[in-house]
Amino acid sequence: MPDTKTSKPTIAISHLGCEKNRIDTEHMLGLLVEAGYQVDSNEELADYVIVNTCSFIQAAREESVRTLVELAEANKKIVIAGCMAQHFQAQLLEEIPEAVAVVGSADYNKIVEVIQRAETGERVQEVSAEPRYIADETTPRYRTTPEAVAYLRIAEGCDYRCAFCIIPHLRGNQRSRSIESIVAEAEQLASEGVKEIILISQITTNYGLDLYGKPQLAELLRALGKVDIPWIRMHYAYPTGLTPDVIRAIQEVPNVLPYLDLPLQHAHPEILRGMNRPWQGQVNDRIIERIKTALPQATLRTTFIVGFPGETDEHFEHLVEFVERHEFDHVGVFTFSPEEGTPAYNLPNQLSQSVMDERRDRLMRVQQPISLKKNQAEVGKYVDVLIEQENPETGELIGRSARFSPEVDGLVYVRGDARLGSMARVEITDADFYDLYGTVMG
């Protein structure tokens, strides 16, 4: 970290939202540190607080607004960055006088210049109308994850136009990094001791389509297989992109985990048509069965939206039956959030929040015994666990097996001795709905 005697202002960053936002935050931190700024985690000691906001759904915006209001009441100079800045730039400057700058979702690379301009008294509005930027392996980065884990963005933006989703408006169209650039960053992370990299983008299975004229995920996985990192995990793998070639790459490349995060959103063809995902209704069952046959040890995670406009009891029961039949390892359920600017915002037959909440809770109750059964099947097995935390009071170690992705899945609570950031061989001795328990092998 830079010398605290520097005359430059001290800066704190408040990170909200998804792991894509986290990477943007890490690049802003890296750029500021490289430019000689003192970065402090304590917002009270900072001259400027950069709030990297989320605007994906109403609840995320409310969290962002609460954070901004609290900082404004503390008389902080606020830089509003990220998706909410992209979404509501003029409105934010008007309603939050303490905001000295707004920085769009693809303008975080200009953060040093933004702070310099704000220091002169300018009220900065740095928001590209059409987001185009994507950082690469040469962009400074100061990681905020546990030392052994890193997210690796392979593409940014989305070319799909799902009726409920505002992401293309906030993040722009898909733009992929080259395989060489991604591998170079993976090698850099490996040299820093990273044991797990998590590949992210809006649609990981569409990786390379814009750059190479066709998806190149299989080629990317094979190239990453040569990097000395034990675990490579994928998020946001759309089922239609899981071609036989991609499945073969997962089978063949030993450090690519058979962990598939499939954002299905629904199962009924009529609702999927309404969501502007009609292709998916024809292939869900077929592709899931193909994955299970080709990768019998695969961990399958998915997310669903309940309460999409027009969702009837019959549509919902179809979804319940789908979840019961396929027995996913992990399921996340969200209620529909009407986003202004999306086609679904003005659709008729909007459901009440109470009906949506009831459906979400029921689907989660349906999933609970499935999750428990999947976890109980691990009891008696010996698995590798990435050790990430230690309870200072009890000495109990906490980590994750290959079945668990950070922050969205369960944890493994471990007795015994192992170094933080290491892979430990653990015998699983117990399980509950979400977590596993075990002992380090002697």
The residue type of 25 is T
Convert 368-400 to b/e letters by CB count within 10 Å (16 or more is b).
Answer: eebbeebbeebeeeebebbbbebeeeeeebbbb
Task: Check the annotation: does 83 bind a ligand.
Answer: yes
Angle separating helix axes 83-95 and 58-73, nearest 10 degrees: 50
* Residue 158, annotated as binding a ligand: yes
Instruction: Give the separation between CA 80 and CA 123, rounded to whole angstroms.
Output: 12
Residue 423: count other Cβ atoms within 10 Å of its Cβ: 17
Which token pair is 22?
């986290």
In the numeric block, which tokens belong to residue 16? Answer: 């909200």
* Helices 353-376, 313-326: crossing angle, 10 deg rounding: 10
Question: Taking a C-beta distance cutoff of 8 angstroms, is the pair 57, 238 a contact?
Answer: no
Residue 90, φ and ψ in degrees, nearest 5: -65, -40
Q: Are 64 and 92 in contact (CB under 8 A)?
A: no
- 264 appears as a binding residue in the annotation: no
Half-sphere exposure in the Cβ direction for 9 (13 Å, CA):
19
Asked if residue 423 belongs to a known ligand binding site, the reply is no
439 contact partners, CB below 8 Å, separation of at least 6: 414, 415, 416, 426, 427, 429
231 CB contacts (<8 Å, ≥6 apart)? 195, 196, 197, 255, 257, 386, 402
Chain-centroid distance, C-alpha 160: 18
User: Coil, strand, or helix at residue 386?
Assistant: strand
206 contacts 246 by C-beta, under 8 angstroms: no
Structure-token pair, residue 146: 């546990």
Token output for 430: 């117990």
108 marked as binding residue: no
Single out the residue of 408, 417, 431 nearest to residue 387, CA to CA. 417
Question: Tokens 């077929």 map to which residue?
Answer: 286
Residue ranges at the known binding site: 18, 54, 83, 158, 162, 165
Residue ranges at the known binding site for [4Fe-4S] cluster: 18, 54, 83, 158, 162, 165
